[in-house]
Amino acid sequence: MTALRGTLKNVLLFFLENLNFFVDIQVEMCGLLSFLIIGQLFIRKDIKTMNNSPSLFVVDSNKDFTRKRKHLFGSTLFNVLLLESGSLKDEMFKLFGYKLDTPTASSFVQARSKIRPDAFRTLFNMFNERTQKIKLHKGYRLLAVDGSVLPISSAIKDTKTTFYKANNSNKPFSAYHLNTSYDLLECTYDDIVLQGNAVMNENGAFNEIVDRYDGPKAIFIADRGYESINSFVKVGMKNHKYLIRVKDIHSRTSVLRSFGPFPDAEFDMHVRRTLTTKQTNEIKAHPEIYKFVPKNQRFDFFDGSPSFDFECRVVRFKISDDTYESIITNLDESEFNIQDIKELYHLRWEIETSYRELKYHLDLNTLHSKKRMFIEQEIYAKLVLYNFCSRVSNNIKIKEKDRKYEYQLNYVRAFHIIRNYLKEKGGKNPPDIESLIAKEILPIRPNRQNERKVKAKSPVSFNYRYD
């Protein structure tokens, strides 16, 4: 069996090294082992491709990585990908097998400083293109869009990441804001817009994600904070669908206030308004027909005309005795009824879970620098690692047994096992990782009576030459 695995790896490596195009290998036919090997080889292949033209990704193309040293461009890229939560010195020992000639943390920092963060962004895109497996629901990809704050050290202050809290103007707070689109069926990140928390603009990030998307028909699912008529129209103009939760009808700041009146109950209604930049007596007298758009509100689709016809569907459903959720969408009711809308929005929670896994399971909360460039490197690197681990884990089947509860993988263990496999040097046959991960399972206990107490962990920023 071991010999067979080694042979399979060599065959796949031959194809990857000798073909100049991506060969679509069906994971279902090859099994988990093949995907594990393929995924690792693709990461190494992508890094090798970038290593052939390092000048495109370095700070100074005339001198960076022009001489052969212990830290080459490709190996440095790969080692940043594999950083865990230990100090940088401990990470160096683990990466280099506790050898006497293990490079110093200082030399690694110097090597990192030569690589621009967009190198890791490029690796993220290349790996996705090679390994992404499109899954559809009623003919649509399901892409959740959400943001998450990543606090960082305020030892360094800048205009993008640092601001002063209103209640304590003398205390700075620094953070990045991650805006991502997450494939809810494949359980992987599709795109990211990285912003400093001081200048964050979730609607702008949403529009950028929609503009960059180049794939099959998709439903963009988002929570409150992304409600914007400009965003609704943007998605529709791209021939995609949106499903976005908005503030309820009783909120004074809800976009629904200008679309009503609505009944204080469940409903499913179509709304039509003519958006306009004018404020004539006719427009003021007919709020059921017109909606005024002030100049300070972004709307990109007037195209020289003072008006634009907008139509959407508003769905309101009960989630408890006295609580409702309100959704704005352009999904057709003949294809998606109220129950379908509820289920689609409920699926959005998976992106929240993914942020927790990214920060705690893959150690994004443990940053190995206070320098902004290094932090951005690690953010993109963790997204690559997350997608690799998720694609491997999703192909593992738990053996069916007569159990009291349904079981799921222990993703903490799975991610750690897979990351350790990535550290294996070429030439070694992989262990039986499928069986190893499949043993690490947890019961799914529905209707838990006691809420689990989870303490938030503060981010860790190690002190390495950040000035």
pLDDT in tens, 151-184: 999 888 999 999 887 776 778 899 999 999 999 9
Distance separating alpha carbons of residues 142 and 144, to the nearest angstrom: 7
Per-residue DSSP letter, 184:
T
CA nearest to 123, candidates 392, 384, 415: 384
Distance separating alpha carbons of residues 36 and 34, to the nearest angstrom: 5
Which token pair is 129? 């293109």
Which residue type is seen at 178? L
What pLDDT, on a 0 to 100 scale, did the predictor assign at position 190? Answer: 97
Identify the residue with better confidence: 455 or 68.
Answer: 68
Distance separating alpha carbons of residues 66 and 73, to the nearest angstrom: 9
pLDDT tens digits for range 110-145: 999 999 999 999 999 999 999 998 999 999 999 999
The mean predicted confidence, pLDDT, of the chain is 85
What pLDDT, on a 0 to 100 scale, did the predictor assign at position 11? Answer: 55
> What is the band of 305 on the pLDDT scale with cuts at 50, 70, 90?
confident
Asked if residues 315 and 327 have their Cβ atoms less than 8 Å apart, the reply is: yes
What pLDDT, on a 0 to 100 scale, did the predictor assign at position 171? Answer: 85
Residue 401 Cα distances to 31, 189, 333, 405, 406, angstroms: 21, 32, 40, 10, 9
Beta-sheet pairing, 441-444 with 406-409: antiparallel
**pLDDT above 90 for 463:** no
- Percentages helix, strand, coil for the chain, rounded to the nearest 5? 40, 20, 40
pTM for the structure as a whole: 0.87
First-to-last C-alpha distance (Å) of the chain: 53
Peptide bond into 261 cis (omega under 30): yes
Distance separating alpha carbons of residues 116 and 235, to the nearest angstrom: 32
Alpha helices in 317-398 (DSSP H): 338-347, 349-356, 372-393
Say if residue 296 is exposed, middle or buried (CB neighbours under 10 Å; 0-12, 13-18, 19+). Answer: exposed
Q: What mean pLDDT comes out for the span 395-406?
A: 65
**pLDDT above 60 for 66:** yes
> What is the band of 19 on the pLDDT scale with cuts at 50, 70, 90?
very low
